[in-house]
Amino acid sequence: MALTRSSNDRIIAGVCGGIARHLGWNPTLTRIIYVAASIFSAAFPGILFYIILYFLMPRE
């Protein structure tokens, strides 16, 4: 399965939903992990990475 943005399981742009579907994870858990990694790690620029993925990941 290709890595694509989710069109039916999306909150903002479908990036975390698409990652969750690709990995077979729960989308809510994926979002929590993503936000936690963004907040607690200075080395993980979450907002910038999300924007980059938004433009690089094709739509479903």
Please report the pLDDT score of residue 47 as a whole number: 87
User: How many structural domains are present in the chain?
Assistant: 1
Which residue range(s) make up the domain with 44? 15-56
Residue 4 inside a domain? The answer is: no
Polymer length in residues for the chain: 60
pTM for the whole thing?
A: 0.84
Q: What is the pLDDT of residues 3-36, one digit of tens each?
A: 898 888 888 899 999 999 999 999 999 999 999 9
Residue 6 inside a domain? The answer is: no
Please report the pLDDT score of residue 17 as a whole number: 93
Higher pLDDT, 1 or 5: 5
Q: What is the pLDDT of residues 39-60, one digit of tens each?
A: 888 777 888 999 999 999 998 8
CA–CA separation, 35 vs 16, rounded Å?
10
